[in-house]
Amino acid sequence: MEAARGVWRGGGRAVTGGFLLAVTACGPPPDQDSEDQRPPRSPAVVRVVPADGARDVRPLGVLRVEAGPGRLVGVRVIDGRGRAVVGRLSRDQRLWLPRGRLSPATTYTVAVVAVNAEGERTDLRSRFTTAYPEGALVGHFTPEDGSVVGVGMPVSLRFNRPVTQRATVERAIRVSADPAVEIAGHWFGDQRLDYRPREYWLPGTRVTLRLRLAGVEGAPGFYGVQDRTVRFTVGRSQVSTVDVARHTMTVRRDGQVVRVIPISAGSPDHPTYNGRMVISEKSPVTRMNGATVGFGDAYDIPDVPHAMRLTASGTFLHGNYWAAQEVFGRANTSHGCIGLADVKPSRRRAKGVRPAPRDTTSGETPAAWFYRQSMTGDVVEVVNSVDRTVAPDNGLNGWNLDWAGWLRGGAPR
């Protein structure tokens, strides 16, 4: 006896709907006499939703396996990589439901075993494929898996489309730390979700981000596709204080001052933001063009050395070889960035410009030394500037919100 796709055929009857299977006991043909005329037996009937061969199935809340009459004694659902879907069986063994969410764009195989009242067995196999939502919801995360970061690094997720079901998405994300510490999420608009503790991470903390977004509806018709775990480690503590009025940067490592460096910050016309800023990226050499940040043709420097980004709007801490060396420690002349004495990446100095002072031990310029000593996630705090405090969403700078303000940014429960 052979089961056709979606229909079991036997004795001239066809049973359909979802996916139904009826199995009768083997015995003499109906027109054959038998001295033992027992009452007819109730076959085990299995129904699987979605139907065998179904495509573009919604990944949430649709899979179910039912038996009746009879009971289920085995249900196994696996994806194309052999990973099993964990499920739960009702007390009467007539209903099986998955515990979690299915993944989009995935083919699942369902294998079912059921028995009727007499213990006779029914076997069923079916397949269905879940839909890949048009423009799936994806969260791009910082920092990267396996990275070592400074104590100020938040976990930051930027979604590729607006999230309307914020509480649902938050429930599918977990950030934990070892040693344990309270961690909370904060939404900056509808496409960015950051996580941080009340204070900076302790050095040596191991942080784990668990994304269980696969199948989660973040907005009507848009489902997450990620199911992964990201781990990173917090390195030593380095927090540097830039005093704009004194033209200095004091570098503290694990609370101890290791160096005071002369700097030149933003001019009175273009002051540097106050506040705590986190180094979000490092570039040995980069181009800085005033036109990209609203300064027109004020500058276009193709080879800015030792550049470390502090804000999304274009504030950097970087090496400066074009300014007179006398400005470092004495005057603020930039368009908002924090400059440290340096040389051109080619090591050839512009005519008439004296060489940058070098560290007597390492032979490095101040900018080169600080670049080598820094990592993403380190904190640079600017004080005594005439400008306002940097916005908490301008870069990875949520530390400029107090804890109460941070907690108010979580999704309503």
Where are the strands (E) in 131-203, listed by range?
139-142, 148-149, 155-159, 173-178, 183-187, 192-197
Q: How far apart are the first and last CA of the chain?
A: 54
CB neighbour list of residue 306: distance below 8 Å, 6 or more residues apart: 284, 318, 319, 340, 342, 367, 368, 370, 371
- To the query of whether residue 26 is one of the catalytic residues in this protein, the response is no
Among 202, 193, 108, 120, which residue's Cα sits nearest to residue 157? 193
* Distance separating alpha carbons of residues 161 and 145, to the nearest angstrom: 23
Residue 369: both structure tokens together: 């030394």
Question: Which position among 186, 247, 306, 318 bears the catalytic label?
Answer: 318
Please work out, in degrees rounded to the nearest 5, the angle formed at the alpha carbon of residue 150 by the alpha carbons of 147 and 153: 85
Cα–Cα distance for residue pair 65/80, rounded to 1 Å: 19
Active site residue 306: no
Q: Which residue has the tokens 């069986």?
A: 89
Which of 56, 93, 55, 87 has its CA nearest to residue 71? 93
Distance CA 308, CA 158 (A): 21
* Cβ atoms of residues 22 and 10 within 8 Å: yes
Token pair listed for 45: 């009937």
- 72 close to 117: Cβ distance less than 8 angstroms: no
Say how far residue 293 (Cα) sits from the centre of its chain. Answer: 28
From the candidates 186, 247, 335, 337, give the one annotated as an active-site residue. Answer: 337
Measure the CA–CA gap between 331 and 246, rounded to whole angstroms: 9
Which positions are annotated as active-site residues?
318, 337
